[in-house]
């Protein structure tokens, strides 16, 4: 980057979607995998397709407490004219015509039986003084009724998960049910987190110094998003030192720096990244945090985040998270959202995607509802006035960390909109509630 370009600032700001697509085109899944026990696989990404090695259930099982019977033996049974069957031995693994065997939910249906009469529809008679008990069935059952057949839940060889699927606790239960105790997953992507700035200190700042927070925040986000962070020491504003720091971590799947990404005299990272590889995008139509720099060095994506804390977090969520996910072999799911009604107007510059931090509280007064068109807003709330109020924690100030820390999420104002009106129903992205 030339001195003239620094003086000129950002003549063009790339749209968020275009900037992300440009960077993702340079990112390939790392391809490393390991096998981990199911108990440690929650949230991990499946490395290869998984098929069921065995059916579930692996035997015909009773779906109800009752008696296993041959359906034909209950034909015509009713309350007035029950079918009378002999009680099979409790240990019998098969029944003969005209017999019934006691079964419990989930237990194996004995050979010869093809249905189960529910216990509520059965009475036991006789059986005293050593005599054989008889079963009166008051319900005619059809073949297969109240019986779970082999493979009813999962068939042998059935495809359970494709590569790239992020495992959930219920998935782990399914894998265990088919007889697996370990699962092949992609290694967690490694992300080198390099905070930069000669003014940064870890504690006890003197006048002119600032406590380093971005590296800590980003490294913990990396971990939450399923990566392995390398939280590095602060690197001063020196081209050689910055280049050495980045080169030293190019074996990581992603390198992310904080600070020094704008166009000032001490904003050296775009120039450094360009010298090591290529700057793909510098300056994005996003607020807060347009001075993000996206590049690649030695086939490693480099995400240079702005130094202001709020801008750093917003850009990490928009660019670092999807890049990290791609490197780990999956994609970033949308953030969970909650519908709310804006308590105050949110200003925005047309052509720029704005992230307005909001807190959620109580129930919003039913203000006049504005036009909810645009990618970031909910449709009409269908008359529901019991929505929480979304109150902006701060309309501006990308250096005010508390505006994020005290917020519950953010409202995204899409590029075509010139702000959002008070009373509009919106989707609040709960960006800290997602892996």
| Residues facing residue 297 across a β-bridge | 300
Q: Which pLDDT score is estimated for 7?
A: 47
Summarize the confidence of residues 104-109 as an average pLDDT. Answer: 94
pLDDT digits (tens, 9 = 90+) for 312-360: 999 999 999 999 999 999 999 999 999 999 999 999 999 999 999 999 9
Strands annotated E in 259-352? 278-282, 286-287, 293-297, 300-305, 337-342
| Domain 61-148 homologous superfamily, CATH | Molybdopterin biosynthesis moea protein, domain 3. (2.170.190.11)
User: Is 431 exposed, middle or buried (CB count within 10 Å of its CB: 0-12, 13-18, 19+)?
Assistant: buried
Prediction pTM value: 0.82
Contact indicator for 49, 161 with CB cutoff of 8 Å: yes
Measured between alpha carbons, how far is 403 from 120 in angstroms, rounded to an integer? Answer: 61
Summarize the confidence of residues 16-35 as an average pLDDT. Answer: 96
> How far from chain centre, in Å, is Cα 400?
28
CB atoms within 10 A of CB 321: 24
pLDDT digits (tens, 9 = 90+) for 216-248: 999 999 999 999 999 999 999 999 999 999 999
| Structure confidence at residue 5 as a pLDDT band (50, 70, 90) | very low
Q: What is the architecture, at CATH level 2, of domain 337-433?
A: Beta Barrel (2.40)
Q: Which pLDDT score is estimated for 189?
A: 97
Residue tagged 């129930």 (tokens):
363
Measured between alpha carbons, how far is 391 from 360 in angstroms, rounded to an integer? Answer: 7
Contact indicator for 184, 349 with CB cutoff of 8 Å: no
| 3-class secondary structure, 111 | strand
Which alpha helices (H) appear in 225-328, and where do they start and end? Answer: 239-247, 269-276, 309-315, 321-327
Measured between alpha carbons, how far is 268 from 260 in angstroms, rounded to an integer? Answer: 6
Q: Which pLDDT score is estimated for 365?
A: 52
- The set of residues, in sequence order, having a beta carbon less than 8 Å from that of 11 and lying 6+ positions away, is none
pLDDT beyond 50 at 2: no
**What is the residue-wise DSSP string for 183-202?**
EEEEPPPEEEEEEB-TTEES
Say which CATH class 3-32+187-327 falls into. alpha beta
- The set of residues, in sequence order, having a beta carbon less than 8 Å from that of 218 and lying 6+ positions away, is 193, 229, 256, 258, 305, 312, 313, 316, 320
pLDDT digits (tens, 9 = 90+) for 47-68: 999 999 999 999 999 999 999 9
In 3D space, the residue among 326, 335, 336, 334 whose CA is nearest the CA of residue 164 turns out to be 326
Q: Which pLDDT score is estimated for 18?
A: 97
Q: Give the H/E segment covering residue 259.
A: none
Measured between alpha carbons, how far is 350 from 277 in angstroms, rounded to an integer? Answer: 33
Domain ranges of the chain: 3-32+187-327, 33-54+156-186, 61-148, 337-433
Assigned CATH for 33-54+156-186: 3.90.105.10
Measured between alpha carbons, how far is 435 from 335 in angstroms, rounded to an integer? Answer: 9
Q: Which pLDDT score is estimated for 434?
A: 64
Contact indicator for 256, 189 with CB cutoff of 8 Å: no
pLDDT digits (tens, 9 = 90+) for 381-424: 445 568 999 999 864 555 555 656 678 999 999 999 999 999 99
Q: Which long-range contacts (CB under 8 A, 24 or more apart) does 263-269 make?
A: 263/1, 263/5, 263/6, 263/7, 263/8, 263/9, 263/10, 263/291, 264/6, 265/6, 266/197, 266/198, 266/237, 267/6, 267/291, 268/237, 268/238, 268/239, 268/242, 269/196, 269/242, 269/293, 269/304
Q: Give the H/E segment covering residue 408.
A: none
Domain pair 3-32+187-327 / 337-433, same fold: no
């Amino acid at each position: 980057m030339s001195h003239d370009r620094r003086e000129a600032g950002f003549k063009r700001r790339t749209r968020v979607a275009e900037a992300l697509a440009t960077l993702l085109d340079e990112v390939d899944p790392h391809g490393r995998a390991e096998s981990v026990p199911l108990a440690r696989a929650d949230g991990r990404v499946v490395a290869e397709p998984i098929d069921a090695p065995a059916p579930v259930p692996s035997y015909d099982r009773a779906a109800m407490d009752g008696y296993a019977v041959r359906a034909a033996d209950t034909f015509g049974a009713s309350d007035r004219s029950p079918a009378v069957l002999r009680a099979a031995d409790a240990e019998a693994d098969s029944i003969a015509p005209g017999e019934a065997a006691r079964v419990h939910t989930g237990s194996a249906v004995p050979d010869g039986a093809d249905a189960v009469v529910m216990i509520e529809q059965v009475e036991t008679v006789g059986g005293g003084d050593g005599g054989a008990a008889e079963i009166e069935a008051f319900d005619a059952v059809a073949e297969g009724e109240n019986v779970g057949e082999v493979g009813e839940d999962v068939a042998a060889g059935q495809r359970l998960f494709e590569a790239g699927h992020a495992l959930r606790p219920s998935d782990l239960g399914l894998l265990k049910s088919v007889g697996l105790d370990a699962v092949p997953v992609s290694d967690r992507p490694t992300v080198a987190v390099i905070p930069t700035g000669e003014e940064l200190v870890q504690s006890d700042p003197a006048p002119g110094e600032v406590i380093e927070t971005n590296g800590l925040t980003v490294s913990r986000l990396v971990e939450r998003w399923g990566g392995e962070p390398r939280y590095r020491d602060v690197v001063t504003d020196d081209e050689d030192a910055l280049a050495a720091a980045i080169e030293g971590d190019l074996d990581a799947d992603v390198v992310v720096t904080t600070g020094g990404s704008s166009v000032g005299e001490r904003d050296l990272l775009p120039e450094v990244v360009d010298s090591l590889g290529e700057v793909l995008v510098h300056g994005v139509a996003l607020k807060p945090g347009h001075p993000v720099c996206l590049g690649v060095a030695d086939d490693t994506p480099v995400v240079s985040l702005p130094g202001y804390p709020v801008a750093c977090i917003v850009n990490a969520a928009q660019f670092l998270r999807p890049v990290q996910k791609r490197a780990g072999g999956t994609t970033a799911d949308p953030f969970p959202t909650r519908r709310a009604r804006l308590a105050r107007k949110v200003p925005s510059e047309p052509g720029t995607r704005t992230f307005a931090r909001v807190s959620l509280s109580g129930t919003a007064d039913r203000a006049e509802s504005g036009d909810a068109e645009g990618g970031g807003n909910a449709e009409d709330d269908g008359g529901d006035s019991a929505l929480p109020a979304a109150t902006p924690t701060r309309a501006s100030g990308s250096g005010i960390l508390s505006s994020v820390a005290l917020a519950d999420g953010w409202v995204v104002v899409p590029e075509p909109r010139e702000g959002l009106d008070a009373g509009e129903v919106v989707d609040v992205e709960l960006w800290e509630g997602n892996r």
